[in-house]
Amino acid sequence: MTSPDREQFVKLREANEAVYSFVEELLQKIEGLEHDIDEKKVLLEKQEDMADMYHQRSREVKAELMKTQQNMERNAYVSVLVDGDSMNFLDEFVRDGESGGQEAARLLIRNVSEYIQNELIDLRHDLAVIVRVYANLKGLRRTYQEADILDDENDFELFVRGFNMGHPMCDFVDAGAGKECSDEKIRETFKLHAGNVHCKHIIFAGSTDNGYARLLGPYSSTEVGKRVTMLEGPPFERELAALKDKFRTTSFPTLFRDTKLPPTRRVSFSATPIHTPTPKPPSYASAASLSSSPPSYTGSSPPTPAPSEKAPGSPNGSQNGANGSTWVNGNGSTNSWTVVLRNKKGQRVDPPIKPSPSIVQSLKSRKLCNPYHLLGTCHFLACKHEHGERLNDKMMEALRYVARLAPCPAGLECEDENCYSGHRCPNNPCHRPNCHFPKEMHAVDTKVCKTWSVQ
């Protein structure tokens, strides 16, 4: 029989074993937790290292971004694009020549800077201003002369020179004599600046050309459109006027004309005028004898030769005019007019000439003054080409041929009645890989249509 003490001992031992077992489990859990903590510490250290690395990288990126933004701001600019053929400077600037050009450039920069300060308040006031004026200089200077703004069309070059000198960021660029040359350059330059992050704003000056509506229209509801100001000189043409409410607009009345220049004086005759007799237009063959001294005619239409008069190219008739004719009557009086020959496409056609090859070769070695001999006068004050005695008919014909070996800058659109340059490559067919005549001046249709230009 078990004594009470023995039973008590057994109970105490069982209790102690339960305590020991519980403690052992606690110790195992503690050891497990400590192991987990150690692993967490290692992971945390790694994460802290990665966080430090990313913080450092973030600081470097922010510094680099700030530097880039500073560089962008340092190179930021406002672009001013001007269609110089239709957006014309005030007459007084042009008349003042070089000094007028310099003043026009300075005033344009000042007006743009004031516009930025007063209207574009989100932009820095010290932004660079880049001005590009594109124009057909040959046609424009002639227009100024015929509008009696300039006495000599060559004076316009002084204005352009002064404009280019007036400010280092102002350029008056000769875009060429083609009809769309200025437009194409302005369109492509606009697209270049519109996509350039450095360009903060574009001031666009071409208010008289509806064609620019197709350029500006797609930008009217975009972020780029918010960076465009339409500059008005003459009133906006219809399609541009419909767009102006979608862009900023402004004007510089102290700098640009508010009316167009008068068009070049020219009278065109169709095949059937109503009140005047219609002379038969010269054929390509009959025009061969036309010469270069500038005649004049002030009537409403070219005169029809009387029966006693000899037609151009006839044995007893004398010829005069770059692309025109002077007929000598039996009584010694003359009937004269100037015509510009064109084919059915409206392209300039040069009358054919058949000079003596030997005379042509001899003239190529001389430096004769074309204006002096072919037009009758030379306006260059220090002309370095040969003047001297007037040439006889055969030498004049040979000189006209030599002059035509140089392509006309105005191309097939040329409207200068006294132009002596070539409007068609003399080689037919032409096999020269680097021919200085442009592609469009090859294989020109030489059949003359019935459209005459009279001066």
Q: Do both 234 and 322 map to the same domain? A: no
* Residue 68 included in any domain: no
Do 317 and 235 reside in the same domain of the chain?
no
Residue-averaged pLDDT of the chain? 80
Domain membership of residue 24 (yes or no) is no
Over 50: is that where the pLDDT of 290 sits?
Answer: no
Mean pLDDT value of segment 18-40 = 89
Residue at which a domain ends, from 223, 251, 279: 251
| Residue at 62 is within a domain | no
Amino acid (1-letter code) at residue 339: V
Structurally, the chain folds into a number of domains equal to 2
230 and 301 housed in the same domain:
no
Alpha-carbon gap, residue 156 to 137, rounded angstroms = 8
CATH code, domain carrying 244: 3.40.50
Using a 10 angstrom Cβ sphere, with 0-12 exposed, 13-18 middle and 19 or more buried, the burial of residue 55 is: exposed
Q: Check whether residue 219 and residue 300 sit in a common domain.
A: no
Q: How far apart are CA 27 and CA 31, in angstroms?
A: 6
Q: What pLDDT, on the 0 to 100 scale, is given for residue 2?
A: 66
Report pLDDT for 410: 86
Per-residue confidence band for 266, with pLDDT thresholds at 50, 70 and 90: very low
Q: Is residue 162 part of a domain?
A: yes
More confident position, 67 or 298 = 67
Contact call for residues 281 and 256 (beta carbons, < 8 A): no
Average pLDDT for residues 258-264, to the nearest whole number? Answer: 81
Kind and range of the H or E run holding 32 = helix 4-74
CA angle 385, 387, 388 (to 5 degrees): 140
**Confidence grade of residue 257 (pLDDT, cut at 50, 70, 90):** very high
Residue 256 near residue 90 (C-beta atoms within 8 A):
yes
pLDDT at 297 over 50: no
Predicted local distance difference test score (pLDDT) of residue 302:
37
Q: Give the β-pairing of 77-83 and 170-174.
A: unpaired
For residue 80, name the pLDDT band (cuts at 50, 70, 90): very high
Residue 10 phi, psi dihedral angles, 5° rounding:
-60, -45
The tally of CA atoms less than 13 A away on the side-chain side of residue 256 is 25
- What pLDDT is stored for residue 16 in this prediction? 87
Q: Are strands 170-174 and 199-205 parallel, antiparallel or unpaired?
A: unpaired
Check residue 388 and give its pLDDT.
87
Using CA atoms, how far apart are residues 137 and 175, in angstroms rounded to an integer?
A: 8
Show the DSSP H helices in 147-283 as ranges.
156-166, 181-194, 212-216, 238-241
Contacts of 452 (CB under 8 A, 6+ apart): 268, 269, 281, 302, 339, 340
Name the amino acid, one letter, at 40.
K
Mean pLDDT of 422-433: 85
Residue 294 and residue 237 in one domain: no
Task: Specify the range with the lowest mean pLDDT, choosing from 243-257, 259-273, 309-323, 435-449.
Answer: 309-323
pLDDT band at 99 (very low <50, low <70, confident <90, very high): very high
Of 200, 223, 251, the residue at which a domain comes to its end is 251
Would the pTM of this model clear 0.75, i.e. be above it? Answer: no
pLDDT at 415: 86
Residue of 73 and 183 predicted with greater confidence = 183
Q: CA angle, 36 as apex, 32 and 37 as ends, to 5°?
A: 115
Count CB-CB contacts under 10 A for residue 145: 17
> Residue 89 above 70 pLDDT?
yes
User: Which residue range(s) make up the domain with 163?
Assistant: 73-251
**Residue 311 scores a pLDDT above 80:** no
Contact 447, 344 (CB under 8 A): yes
Mean local confidence (pLDDT), 4-31: 87
Task: Look at residue 338 and give its three-state secondary structure.
Answer: strand
For residue 93, the model assigns a pLDDT of 95
Beta bridge partners of residue 174, listed in sequence order:
135
Contact call for residues 350 and 340 (beta carbons, < 8 A): no
What's the rounded Cα separation, in Å, for the pair 349 and 284? 8
Quick one: pLDDT at residue 249?
96
Report which of 428, 434, 419, 420 is spatially closest to residue 446, judged by C-alpha positions.
428
Q: 162-175, pLDDT tens digit by residue?
A: 999 999 999 999 99
Q: Is the pLDDT of residue 338 over 80?
A: no
Is residue 411 pLDDT above 80, yes or no? Answer: yes
Mean predicted confidence (pLDDT) in 39-47: 91
Last residue of a domain, one of 184, 217, 251: 251
C-alpha–C-alpha distance, residues 132 and 239, integer Å: 24
CA pair distance 191, 202, nearest whole angstrom? 10
pLDDT above 70 for 44: yes
Residue 96 lies in a domain: yes
Residues 291, 390: one domain?
Answer: yes
Closest CA to 366 of 330, 333, 391: 391
DSSP, collapsed to helix, strand or coil, labels residue 334 as strand
- Closest by Cα among 136, 146, 139 to 172: 136
Claim to verify: residue 79 and residue 132 sit in the same structural domain = yes
Under DSSP, the state recorded for 13 is: H
Q: Report the candidate in 181, 197, 196 with the shortest Cα–Cα distance to residue 136.
A: 181
- 185-199, 326-340, 412-426: the lowest-pLDDT one: 326-340
226-251: pLDDT as tens digits: 999 999 999 999 999 999 999 999 99
Supply the pLDDT for residue 316.
35
**Is 3 strand, coil or helix?**
coil
Same-domain check for residues 242 and 307: no
Q: Compute CA distances 382 → 161, 302, 378, whole Å.
A: 19, 37, 10
How much of the chain, in percent, has pLDDT values that exceed 90? Answer: 40
Structural domain contains residue 115: yes
- Whether the CB-CB separation of 324 and 296 falls below 8 Å is answered with no
Is residue 221 located within the same domain as residue 184? yes
Q: Is residue 10 part of a domain?
A: no
pLDDT at 310 over 80: no
25 pLDDT more than 70: yes
Do both 218 and 325 map to the same domain? no
Same domain, 297 and 246: no
Are 221 and 98 in contact, with CB atoms under 8 Å apart? Answer: no
Cα gap 28→34, rounded to integer Å: 10
Give the pLDDT band (50/70/90) at residue 264. low
Dist. CA 175–CA 157, nearest whole Å: 14
**Kind and range of the H or E run holding 359:** helix 357-364
Residue 61 lies in a domain: no
User: How far, in Å, CA of 269 to CA of 267, rounded?
Assistant: 7
Average confidence (pLDDT) over 36-57? 90
Domain identity same for 270 and 247: no
Q: What number of other Cβ atoms are within 10 A of residue 10's Cβ?
A: 11
CA nearest to 296, candidates 331, 325, 333:
325
